[in-house]
Each structure stands twice: as structure tokens, then as C-alpha cells.
Chain A
Amino acid sequence: EVQLVESGGGLVQPGRSLRLSCAASGFTFDDYAMHWVRQAPGKGLEWVSSISWNSGTIKYADSVKGRFTISRDNAKNSLYLQMNSLRDEDTAFYYCGKDSGHSLIASTHPDYWGQGTLVTVSS
């Protein structure tokens, strides 16, 4: 069974940093691309970032480009999101997702998501 467990969320002041982690199990982690999406409380889903199986291809939403960094450690079956210069509008639940393929090509898509971790940016 695919399991994705996010951690690292919490309350942080504007301008500070936070690192999210996603522990993956139930599949061969280094065979698949991975994703982060977020959801402000009571709002819809927003794609944040994606990374291919070997970290060779990385994509970011314009809203986080230059502030967030996605990475993965295939030896630890883990996905990360380093979030710097946090803003009030970054407050959201952050979900880790597994892709159906290993490269970020148009025919592949997310097929599993975790339960999320809440990041609250507030002074």
C-alpha cells in the first residue's frame, strides 16, 4: 500500500524558513517523480513543485520560485520542500504526491497524495 506521510509543518514568522519532509513507503521510491501541492484553509488546490526520479528535472510555480527548493533523497525514500522567506500567503496545508511515472512528461500524473501538514505563517 502506498503511504506518504508529511511532517515539518508548524507556526513560523514571516520571513523565516521551514523544511517539510515526506516519508514514502509501499512503492519503489526512486522509480517515480514526486510533487508538492498546497491548499489554503477552506480554499482550492495549488500546485507548488515537482521533481523527477533522479532530480534531473524540477519545476516550480511562479508564486514560490526563488524561495522554495524541492529535493529528494532516494536512499531515504524521502521528499523535501525547503521554504525560505515565508509569507502570510504561504499559509496552507502542504500535500506530498507520487507520480504515475518517473519523468515529468505530459502523459504522467499524480496518483497518490498524503494527508498533509499545516504551515501557518504569522507574526
Chain B
Amino acid sequence: EIVMTQSPATLSVSPGERATLSCRASQSFGSTLAWYQQKAGQGPRLLIHGTSTRATGTPARFSGSGSGTEFTLTISSLQSEDFAVYYCQQYDNWPWTFGQGTKVEIK
């Protein structure tokens, strides 16, 4: 099983600032990594798939990068609607696994 570890657990950012979220895998795999956003009381929303491809409707301020075991989600200029919990997920190997999440909160 591939273990996904996200850091930091909580990120305090001011609106308009840049946020960088990290996701590390316990073993290397291809580009089969996704990022999801989840707000309180809602299901996850796909933001990024294939490490760097924005899903339909994902604003351009969200970008994904990385390879091997290190992946990053960058939000270039945080908007009020971006404060949420973010999860990475690998879909390269079964069982699919998620990171434990990074909460992006208002500083």
C-alpha cells in the first residue's frame, strides 16, 4: 500500500497570498495523482488530476506539480472561497490511498 503524507497539517494564509501544499508518497509512481478540495458539510471536489491537469471548472490560480514521490499543490493568490481542506490521492496502485489532508485557514 502506498502511504500518502501531507504537510503541513494546517496552513494559515492571508487572502491574496500564495499557498503551497505538499504531498509525499512512500514509493514512487507515475503521474496518477489527484488533488481534492473539501468544504465543511460537502463531498470532495476534484481540482487536479494527472498531477498537473486542472479539472473542469478549476480556476487557473490552482496548479499542481511534482513527480516520483513528491507532489505539490500551489494556490497562487488565495481567495475567500479557497479556505478549505485539501487532500491528495494516488490512483496508481490498489488500494487507492489519500493523504490525511491539509487545512488552509485564514490568517
Question: Residues of A with Cβ closer than 8 Å to B?
Answer: 4, 37, 44-47, 50, 59, 61-62, 95, 100, 106-116
CB contacts under 8 Å to A, within B88-104, are 89, 91-92, 94-101
Chain A residue contacts of B50, Cβ below 8 A: 109
The bracket for how many chain B residues form the interface is: 20 to 34
Tell whether A106 pairs with B91 under 8 Å between CB atoms, given A47-B97, A47-B98. yes
Which A residue's beta carbon lies closest to that of B6?
A44
Contact of A109 (CB < 8 Å), options: B34, B94, B100: B34
Q: Contacting B98 at CB < 8 Å: which of A45, A50, A111?
A: A45
Compute how far the CA of A110 lies from the CA of B41 in the bound complex, rounded to whole angstroms.
Answer: 19
**B43 at interface by CB-CB < 8 Å:** yes
Assess whether A109 is in contact with B43, with CB atoms less than 8 Å apart: no
Does B55 lie within 8 Å of A113, measured CB to CB?
no
A103 to B96 Cα, complex, angstroms: 15
Q: A100-B49, A110-B34, A111-B55 are in contact. Are A45 and B91 (CB under 8 A)?
A: no
Add 11 more A-B contacts to A44-B98, A44-B99, A109-B34 (CB < 8 A): A45-B38, A45-B44, A62-B95, A106-B91, A106-B92, A109-B46, A109-B49, A109-B89, A115-B42, A115-B43, A116-B43
Q: Which residues of A contact B42 (CB under 8 A)?
A: 115
